[in-house]
Amino acid sequence: AGSVLTNKYAEGYPGKRYYGGCEVVDEVEQIAIDRAKALFGAEYANVQPHSGSQANTAVFAACLKPGDKFLGFDLSHGGHLTHGSPVNFSGRLYNPVFYGVDKETGRIDYDKVEEIA
């Protein structure tokens, strides 16, 4: 689950990034820009979230209803507050179920994640 774009650092704008290897990100972002401009009849559109937390909030709002269960990476294993921490909206509005890394290998045990899911 997830997206290859999840961990892609793409600071800047399509065609004007600060880092190489962002061609696919540029293409996806340009599609979103074009669609937003068409939808709102706008000459310009910026579809970049202000922060990762805001991006996560948008995904939660679009995909879940309050009380829905979701699988989140445990904060103590490297997850983020928006992955279901009780101090965050994601842990208050939704029902998080956590997974983490194996203590001995330091890796995610995908068989265990499947079991939890």
pLDDT digits (tens, 9 = 90+) for 34-75: 999 999 999 999 999 888 888 899 999 999 999 999 999 998
- Rounded to whole angstroms, the Cα distance separating 85 from 79 reads 9
Higher pLDDT, 3 or 23: 23
pTM over 0.75: no
pLDDT averaged over the chain?
91
- 39 vs 9, residue with greater confidence: 39
Alpha-carbon distance of 9 to 19, in angstroms, equals 8
